[in-house]
Amino acid sequence: MMAEYVAVARVDELKPARMKRVEVAGRKLLLCNSEGRYFCVDEMCSHEDYSLYLGCIKDGKIKCSLHGSYFDLATGAPTCEPADEPIRTYAVKIEGGQVWVAAG
Ligand code: FES
């Protein structure tokens, strides 16, 4: 079954380098604005159970503030240790002045 898109924010709601916690299809996710582009990823770090909401967004990546791993927001891949597993990424679209995320 195709994942359904859910509206999670107004398109002008987040300034660059800001993020918002959203829940889609029972999953806790982060909507991230990196330099004007929206991305959506799992809220929790893949290294330990720690919220990436406490980190920061920089150059298309999100940083975990517990041990300092960065994850690419487009692919979810870790770009430095200690994390070696990716975080999940979710499809995002802009339509009708809203940001939509699919996470089925
Ligand atoms: S919990 Fe995120 S890098 Fe360790």
Model confidence pLDDT, tens digit, residues 71-97: 999 999 999 999 999 999 999 999 999
Cα–Cα distance for residue pair 99/82, rounded to 1 Å: 32
Classify domain 15-90 by CATH architecture.
3-layer Sandwich (2.102)
1 — pLDDT class (breaks 50, 70, 90) = low
For ligand 1, pick from 49, 50, 87 the residue to mutate: most ligand atoms within 8 Å of CB: 50
Residue 13 confidence (pLDDT): 97
pLDDT tens digits, residue range 60-78?
999 999 999 999 999 999 9
3 — pLDDT class (breaks 50, 70, 90) = confident
**Span from the CA of 97 to the centroid of ligand 1 (angstroms):** 34
Q: How far apart are the first and last CA of the chain?
A: 8
Residue 70 confidence (pLDDT): 98
- Residue ranges lining ligand 1, Cβ < 6 Å: 45, 47-48, 50, 64, 66-67, 69, 82-83
Domain boundaries, the chain: 15-90
43 — pLDDT class (breaks 50, 70, 90) = very high
Q: What percent of the chain has pLDDT over 70?
A: 99
Mean pLDDT of the chain: 96
For the entire predicted model, the pTM comes to: 0.95
